[in-house]
Amino acid sequence: MPFVEPPVTGETLRQRVKGLGNRLTVLYRFLFPAGVVSKVRSPFASGHTYEAAVPLTKKFRFVHEPVDGTTSTRFVGREIEMQSLAQRILFSKGGSFLVTGYRGVGKTSFVNQVVRTLELALPWAEGALGKTEIVDIYLNVARPVEPSEIMHHIIRRLRERLIEKDFYRLLDKKLREDLTLPYDRTSVNMARKLAESSERTFGFDEASIGSDWMKAAVKLGWSSKRSKTQNYEMSYLGCDDKAAEHDIIRISRQLADGGYSQPTPGWRRHGLIFWPREPQMVRLKIVFVFDELDKLEEFNPKGGKGKKPVIDEILGALKNLFTTSGVTFVFVAGKDLQERWLDDVGKGDSVYESVFSYDKYLPCLWSDVDPICNALLADSVTLPSYDKQVYEEFKKYLVFKGRGIPRRIIRTFNDFVGWNGEQPVLAFTRQAVRQIRFFAGLQEVLTTNEKLLFGESHEEVPGAQSDKRRLLPHRLDPAPVDVRVHVERRFERFQTTKCQDCAG
């Protein structure tokens, strides 16, 4: 009886496909065996013996620059201040905002996160503001500049940023022309030189005319030489300061009121006729960030009466631009500018108060060491009791060494990071553990006797004066006698232990 193949059903087909998939999996594992990468030895093998180790997340990377949108998960703290400034900017029609604080306290990172919060809040605010897009522009002002230079930078960076974010081509033709003309005027003077030369020569030396019975010879020479050089120089018209300021204010207001129109999908009904929906106007929220203004303090005149600081001259000359253009200006400055602000406000005649509609002093992060460190630990890892104890003391050590400055905290944290194979870890030698324990104990003394050491804080700007006192090199001279004795005994005990280790 001949063999009759059963009909192919859906179940039979699925079984065949599954069997083929299993064979391909076996072949792949044979050709590409797992674990090949793990056989490579790390070139960073260390001969140190560590007393304690704390595993970090495998995504850990050293960060040496301000936190931006790509590393926003590393940003810790200041949630309330960040949301407050973002709301103020989002629902304001332009204005100037001042952010101050000590160097390394995280001012640039804070402003970066504020801009990021603005972009995330746009869908939520669309019902109140309409369709809006953020145009963020950063400009570092680390050297003295003239007010006219500031305006030229604003014009140029605005147009370049609009092109970069692909908004420029969507603008009205007239608005594009209005942006291009001041951009060209502020360009570097262009010069073109064209040299043209030509030389022509024509002639003949000798010619013979005649027959056998008459012959004449004529010798004639003629030559022509011409040389021409033309120089053309073209330069754009100079951009007057008042004209540039007027252009910026006019253009920025047009961008803020209605930057460009966006086609709206769908149809609208008018009686029995359906018409395409009207284009939707998209407003552009322009945010200029002037960073590194604390560097300008180094160029301020010293000892000379009547000489204004560099930043004061810029604010006085461009006050109208900073307050009426509809553009949001965020100034990132140092502690000196914040103190000068308070001093001028006390006098009753302050250029800062007339320019800045909002000011925010960023205090030091004295209580945020725990979230900074815990965010970098490996997930679901249970530490041995001794390693956990060392880690808790290490965080107190960071509080003492960092003094509330995130840059110092992160730099000190990075000093103890190493790689154990493919796993980044916090590694502590015996000597490091003893050093950590000493300064952790010292930090406990400072925390316990904080009121005795630094007194009560009654300040106009929260954190300003207390930071100044606590950022001193932890001088204990004005402290009570019992506090000084306690600290001195702990230090002597540490020195004795250290000498015994050296002798052993």
Shared-domain flag, residues 161 and 122: yes
Domain annotation covers residue 393: yes
The pTM assigned to this predicted structure is: 0.70
Closest CA to 183 of 116, 247, 130, 235: 247
Residue 241, SS3 per DSSP:
helix
Same structural domain for residues 350 and 371? no
Q: Mark whether 355 and 370 lie in a shared domain.
A: no
355: three-class secondary structure by DSSP: helix
Domain final residue pick, 329, 346, 361: 361
Q: What pLDDT, on the 0 to 100 scale, is given for residue 370?
A: 86
Distance CA 194, CA 185 (A): 23
Under DSSP, is residue 104 helix (H, G, I), strand (E, B) or coil?
coil
In whole angstroms, what is the distance from residue 482 CA to residue 246 CA?
Answer: 66
Q: Which residue is listed with tokens 């402290």?
A: 479
7 within some domain: no
Residue written as token pair 């005319």: 209
Q: Are the beta carbons of 157 and 165 closer than 8 angstroms?
A: no
With respect to residue 314, please indicate whether it lies within any of the assigned structural domains.
yes
Which residues, given as ranges, of the chain have pLDDT below 70?
1-13, 17, 26-48, 68-74, 76, 187-240, 262-279, 300-306, 453-504
Show which of 336, 361, 386 is a domain's final residue.
361
**Spatial separation of the C-alpha atoms in residues 236 and 290, rounded to whole Å:** 28
Residue 129's pLDDT is 87
Residue 421's region, left for phi above 0, alpha for psi from -120 to 50, else beta, is: left
The contacts of residue 480 (CB under 8 Å, 6+ apart) are: 449, 452
244 with 320, same domain: the answer is: yes
The CATH number for 268's domain is 3.40.50.300
Distance CA 20, CA 477 (A): 81
Per-residue H/E/C for 260-288:
EEECCCCEEEECCEEEECCCEEEEEEEEE
Say what the pLDDT of residue 479 is.
47
CB 287 within 8 A of CB 114: no
Residues 450 and 472 in one domain: yes
Structure confidence at residue 35 (pLDDT): 41
Q: Are residues 141 and 289 in the same domain?
A: yes
Are both 344 and 460 inside the same structural domain? no
Of 332, 361, 390, which closes a domain? Answer: 361
The sheet with strand 423-428 has its strands ordered as 52-55, 423-428, 417-420
- Inside any domain, residue 131: yes
Is 215 inside a domain boundary? Answer: no
**Number of domains composing the chain:** 2
* SS3 track for 310-353: HHHHHHHHCHHHHHHCCCEEEEECCHHHHHHHHHHHHHCCCHHH
Which is it for the CA torsion 123, 359, 258, 239, positive or negative? negative
- pLDDT at site 99: 93
Note whether 420 and 492 are same-domain residues. yes
Indicate whether 202 belongs to any domain. no
Residues 308 and 178 in one domain: yes
Asked if 300 and 413 sit in the same domain, the reply is: no
Backbone angles phi, psi at 274, to 5 degrees: -105, 130
Specify whether 333 is located in the same domain as 393.
Answer: no
Whether residues 318 and 301 fall in one domain = yes
**Of 65, 69, 139, which Cα lies nearest the Cα of 106?**
65
The answer to whether residue 209 sits within a structural domain is no
Look up the domain containing 430 and give its range.
Answer: 52-62+366-503
> Does 196 reside within a domain?
no
Residues 6+ away with beta carbon under 8 Å from 453: 446, 476, 478, 479, 483
